[in-house]
Amino acid sequence: MKKKKAKKQLQKKNRKSLKELHKSAEEHYRLLTPTPKHVYRKGNYINFAYIKNYEHLGYTLEAVMNLCIMALDGYDPNDEARDIKEAHKQFADVLEFFRRLIPHEELAFLDKSRRLLQDND
């Protein structure tokens, strides 16, 4: 009889933890959005990677490529063949873009999930 009661209490605690986990997931999973069912590629879209327009997208892609070139070949501001204008600004812009991709909300959720799972042990 005691065993049944203990089992019921554990199940109740697990259900409560699971509800908390679902609630926390809804609050914190924000960076990635699942692709719609009609899309042939299954996966996720990245939210909060702000691109103003196509020109800004092109600039960001070019800045990433320039940053890769500078990392591989070194940066020489006098090299006319490379013609990388405002390298310091492009470098800062690329870092800022990637900084926005850090999933802070999801990381907070993982911490909460871990605490909930540890409480159930």
pLDDT one-digit tens code per residue, 25-64: 777 777 777 778 777 777 877 776 777 888 888 888 888 8
| Domain boundaries defined on the chain | 22-49+104-121, 52-100
Neighbours of 51 (CB within 10 A): 13
H or E element in which residue 76 lies: none
Mean pLDDT score, 91-101: 85
Alpha helices in 29-103 (DSSP H): 54-73, 87-100
What percentage of the chain has pLDDT greater than the value 90?
0
Confidence (pLDDT) at 30: 72
Beta bridge partners of 45: 33
Could you give the CA distance from residue 120 to residue 108 in angstroms, rounded to a whole number? 19
Confidence (pLDDT) at 82: 67
Confidence (pLDDT) at 52: 82
What percentage of the chain has pLDDT greater than the value 70?
90
